[in-house]
Structure 1
C-alpha cells in the first residue's frame, strides 16, 4: 500500500494557480452537514491560530493527474468552498467608493482570487453529486454576473443561506451588512488553516486508511497531554501511584463504554475554564486550553486536581450519558430540566449552567430559582434552534458575561434570573421572528427541536397518557432509537403516489411535487407516532385509521393525542378523508401560536 500524507493549507487545496479538481464519487452521500457543524468549523477558523489543523482529507488518485476522488472530507471541503463563495458575494455588497486606494486594490484582487480558487480551466474545482452540483454551478454563475437559481427549499441551498448569514450581520431591517476588513480577515484565516491530505492508490487502500483513522489508537488527545501536566506537578508532592489514583478519579467522570470520552473531557475543560478561570467574555479555544491548564497546574499545583474533580462531577450531571459516573443526587424535577436542555444542543451556555450548578452546591441559589433560570434557557434555545440566530459564539459570549457578573453575587436567588435575562435578551429573537420561522419548513431546520416542541405541547395539553398509560414519549427501543418519532402526514418520499398528487393538487397533478416540497416539512404536516415505518408513504385514510383493522385501538392519526386533534379540525374522524395544503397551513398557524406562548422568554 502506498500512502502519501501531506499537510496542506487551504490556500494550496484551493489554489489560485493550481488545476487540481476534487471529485465526489457516486457512492458518497450528498452534502449533509447541519448548521451546528458549519458553525463549529467557522468558529475554529476564526478563533484558532493560523496553521490550525482542521482535519483529514482522504483521497484516491485517478488517471487524470490533477483529479482526486474524495473518500473522506467531503463535508468540510464543500463547506470551505461555500465560505469562499459567500465571501465573494458579500464583497459585492461593499460600497467601493468608500474604500481607500489600498483597500480598493485589495478588494478587486480578493474577488479575482476567490474566482480562481473555485473555477479552474476544466470547470468547478469541486465536483459534487449531481443534485448538489446543479445548485453549486448555479451559484457559481455569480462570477459571470448572472443571477443564481432559487434553491431555498433544498438542503444545500438552506445551508448556503446559513453560511451567508453566519459571515454577516443584519441591520434593523433584516438586511445583511458587510465590512471589507472583516471579510478580508476571514478570507486570510480560511486560507491559513490546514488539512492533512492523504493520497492512496485505490478505494481498497482508502478504506483501510479510513478505518484506521476512525478506530482506537488515535494520536495524543487533550486527555493525554493534561495527564502529563498534572503528573509532572503531582509527583513532586507524593508517589506516582497516588497521583495516578487522583487522575483516575477525574477520568472516571467521563467513562463511556469503559473508555474515557475524549470529546466530553475537552468540552469539560473548555467550559470549566470559561466558567471559573477566565476573565474576559471570550471563550477559550481547544488549542489555547492546553497552555492554560499547564499554567494552572504550575501555579496551583496538584491541589487543582481536587477542584477539577468537583467541577467534573457537576459537568457530568449536565450530560445524561455521563450522569451515572457521579455521586451527586438531584431531584427528579431538576434532572428532567437538565435532560431537556441537553436535547437542544445548548453547549454555548454550558459555562453558565456549570456556574449555576456550582452555586447550587454552595447554597447560593435554591432549586426553585435554579429551575426558573434553566427553563428560561430551554425556551431561549428552542427559539434559537428554529430561527437559527443568534450565533452560538454570540450566545456563549453573553453566557460568559453573565457568569462574570454572577461571580460577584452571593445570593443568586434575588438577581440570578435578571442577570441572565438582561444579557441574553439583548440578542434574542422576537416573537414575530419566532412565529415567522415556525410557519416555514422547520423540519429541515432542526428536526430534534421540532420533536421537542411537539412533545412539550402534548404534555401540557394532552390527556392520552395517564396512570394506566405511562408517558413513554422519551423512551427508546433496544437499538437506542426513540419509540415515538416525527411523522410526515403528507409523505416526504420523492415517489409521491397518484392519490396524494390528486389530493394536494387536484387541478394540476404535475404541480404536486412542487407543492409537496414547499409544504411537507411545515409544522402543520408533522405529528408524533410509534408506527412511522408502518404509516410511511400510505394514503391519508390508511394513516388516519391505522390499527383499527387489526382489532386494536387506533394507532395512526386518530391516536388520541392533543396534537392530532388539529389534524381533523371540527370534522369528525370519519368524514375527514383528505389532507390538503390548506389543512397544513391552518394547522401550522394553530400550533405555532401555542408554541410561541409556551416558549416565551418574557
Structure 2
C-alpha cells in the first residue's frame, strides 16, 4: 500500500541539482516583498556558521520528468535568486570553479545528449518566467521591471535587494566569504521534502498546507480549484484565460476580482454570501435549489460579463454600455453602491435595458433616503432579483419583486427635508435637483452654509445646528474648493461664497433670506425636497 507522502531530508544543493522544478499554474504567484526577503536574508546570514540550517517544508509532485512545487515556491525562487547573485559575484571575482559549481547545482541543468542547459526552476506564467530567466542569464534587472505590483516587479526587487546585501557582506573578505556562502547553501541548508504520489490531487494538498502562514485568498483558492479541474492538455490555455481576466483587477486588488466572480455567479445562481463563494463553486457548501456553474461555465461567465463590469467600476473605460447607462454607473459609484451590480448585469441582456437600470437607480436612491440600503437582507433580495431577471429575460419582474423596498413619494420627500445624510449622499441629491436629472455630473463642491463646527453662528443655536447641520437645506454647491475665512457668518457667506455658486444653484432664492437660522434651513429644505420628489418620482 502506497503511503500518502514519502518524506526525506535533503540539502538545498542535493535537492536542486537533482531535477528541474516547475511552479504549477494553481499556485499563487511569487508574492514576497522586501520584508519577507529581508527576513529570509537575515535568517540565512545569521545561520552561516551553523552546522545545519533548516529552511522548511517543500511538497512536490512529479509529472513528465519534472518536479512540480506544491508548497515552497517562495523559498525556492528566493534561494535561486540568492544563488544567482553568488554566481555572478564569484564569476566577476575570478572564482570560476566556484561559480560553475553554483550554476550547476542551483541554476542550470545539463542535457547530456545535446549538451544544452535548462533552468533548474521554471515559473508557470510566461511573462514572469521570462523576467526570472533573464535575471539568471544576465545578473542584471531594473527595479522598474514590469508593472507596479506585478510578479516581475517583485522578482526584480527581490533580486536587487539580495545582490546588494551580498555585496555588503563580501566587503571584508570577498574570496573567503564567497566560498563560505557556497558551501553553506550547498551542504548545510536543509529542506524537509515530501513527494506526493498523486499529481491529480496536488491542488488539495496545496489548499490544506496553505491554511498555515500567509492565508490563501479566495482568489487563490478559486484559481487553484478551476485549474485543478481542467484536463492537463487544456491547463495552460485555461491559466492564460484566468490571468487575462484577473489581470483586469490588479489596480483594485484581488478582493475586487473575487467580488466580480461572486456578482457574475449571482446572476444565474442567486445570492451567495462572500464567505460561501469558494465552497459553493467547489461543491463543498450546498445551497438549496442552487447549482453552481462548473469550471468551464464559470470561465465563460467571467469572460461574458467582464467588459460591462469593468465599465461599472470605471465608467470612463471602453465597453458595450452606451452613454446613458454609463451615467447610471457613475451615479451608483457616487453613492458607493455595489450590491446592485448583479441586477445590472442581468438587466443589460433584457429589452429596454436602460429603462431597467434607471429603475434600479431610482429604487436605490429612494431606499437610501427612506430606509437602509446596506443590510444583508437587502443585498440578498437584490441577488435573488438578479436571478429572476436572468430567468424571465425581462427587467419588469423587479417592479413586483422589490415592491416592498420602494417607499412612497410622500415618505421620500419628508425624509429628504429633515433627515441628516453624509456628504456623498447630500452632494448627489443636491446636484440631482440643480441639474434636474437622476444622473447628474459631479460638478462643484458641496458646502454647508452654516458649518457644523461653528457653534458661534448668529441666529442658530448649537442644538439647532446639530439637528439641521447635515440636512439638504443647509447645503450649497460652489466652484470653491475651500471655504474663505470671511464666510464665518451669514453676511460673510453671502459676500464671499454666494458669488461662487455654480450656474444652476438657487442663488436668487438664497439672496432673499435675511437670517440663516433653523427656520430658513427648514424652509429651503422643504423646497429642495419637493423638487427632488419631482425628479425621483416622475
TM-score normalised by L of structure 1: 0.48
Q: 2:476 aligns with which of 527, 535, 539?
A: 527
Residue among 316, 334, 350 paired with 1:343:
334
Using the TM superposition, give the Cα deviation of residue 243 of structure 1 relative to its aligned residue in structure 2, in angstroms: 3.1
Instruction: Decide which of 196, 217, 220 is 1:224's aligned counterpart.
Output: 220
Choose which of 438, 449, 471 in structure 2 pairs with 1:489: 449
Gaps of 5+ in 1: 1-216, 462-470, 476-483, 505-511, 548-553
Match of 2:301 in 1: 307
Q: Does 1:429 align with 2:378?
A: no
Deviation at 1:596, TM superposition (A): 1.5
Q: Distance in 2 between matches of 1:271 and 1:409?
A: 18
Per-residue CA deviation, residues 440-492 of structure 1 (Å, 9 max, x unaligned), is: 242xx33212111111111129xxxxxxxxx99526xxxxxxxx222111121
Give matches, 1:160-559, under 5 Å. Answer: 219-240=215-236, 242-256=237-251, 261-278=253-270, 283-295=271-283, 300-302=294-296, 304-320=298-314, 324=317, 328-357=319-348, 359=349, 364-365=350-351, 369-389=352-372, 392-410=375-393, 412=394, 416-417=395-396, 419-442=397-420, 445-460=421-436, 474=442, 484-494=444-454, 496-497=455-456, 500-501=457-458, 503-504=459-460, 512-535=461-484, 538-546=488-496, 555-556=499-500
1:564 equivalenced with 2:513 (yes/no): no
CA apart distance, 1:308: 1.8
CA displacement at 1:328 relative to structure 2: 2.4
C-alpha distance in 2, partners of 1:351/1:440?
Answer: 32
After superposition, the C-alpha distances for 1:177-201 in whole angstroms (9 at most, x for unaligned) are xxxxxxxxxxxxxxxxxxxxxxxxx
The separation in 2 between residues aligned to 1:441 and 1:252, in whole angstroms, is 42
Q: Which residue does the alignment assign to 1:591?
A: 528
Q: Is the 8 A contact 2:422 2:470 kept in 1?
A: no
The answer to whether the 8 Å contact 1:348/1:392 transfers is no
Shift of 1:303: 5.7
- Do the aligned partners of residues 378 and 563 (structure 1) sit closer, same or farther apart at CA in structure 2, a change above 3 Å counting? farther
Unaligned runs of 5+ in 2: 1-212, 285-290
Structure-2 change in CA distance of 1:516 and 1:218 (3 Å): farther
Specify the SS of the correspondent of 2:447: strand
Could you say which residue in structure 2 is the equivalent of 1:103? none
Contact 1:351–1:403, Cα closer than 8 Å, also in 2 = yes
Q: 1:473 to 1:271 in 2, by over 3 A?
A: closer
Indicate conservation of the 8 Å contact 1:438/1:592, yes or no: yes
What is the rounded CA distance, in whole Å, between the counterparts of 1:300 and 1:409 in structure 2? 22
Distance of 1:492 and 1:438 partners within structure 2 = 18
Q: Tell me the alpha carbon deviations over residues 413-439 of structure 1, each in whole angstroms, 9 at most, x when there is no partner.
A: xxx23x111111223222232222222
- On the 8 A contact 1:386/1:434 being kept in 2, the answer is yes
Offset of 1:587 from its aligned partner? Answer: 0.4
CA distance in 2, matches of 1:529, 1:225: 49
CA shift for structure 1 position 522: 2.0
- What is the CA–CA distance in structure 1 between the aligned matches of 2:374 and 2:293, rounded to whole Å? 35
Per the alignment, in what secondary structure is the counterpart of residue 232 of structure 2? coil
The whole-number CA distance in structure 2 between the counterparts of 1:532 and 1:219 is 43
Change over 3 Å in CA distance of 1:390–1:581 after alignment to 2: same
Contact 1:457–1:563 (8 Å) recurs in 2: no
The CA RMSD measured in Å over matched residues stands at 3.1
Residue equivalent to 2:114: none
Q: CA deviation at 1:291?
A: 1.6
Question: Are residues 225 and 541 of structure 1, via their aligned partners in 2, closer, same or farther at CA, if it must alter by over 3 Å?
Answer: same
- Checking the alignment, whether the CA contact within 8 Å between 1:315 and 1:354 is kept in structure 2 is yes
Aligned partners of 1:402, 1:473: CA distance in 2, in Å? 28
Matches of 1:252 and 1:218, distance apart in 2: 21
Offset at residue 592 of structure 1 (A): 0.7
Give the distance between the partners of 2:516 and 2:294, measured in 1 at CA: 66
- How far, CA to CA, are the matches of 1:518 and 1:491 in structure 2? 12
| The structure with more radius of gyration | 2
Please give the alpha-carbon distance, in whole angstroms, between the structure 2 residues aligned to 1:377 and 1:522: 24
CA distance in 2: counterparts of 1:311 and 1:226, whole angstroms? 18
SS in structure 2 of the partner of residue 562 of structure 1: coil
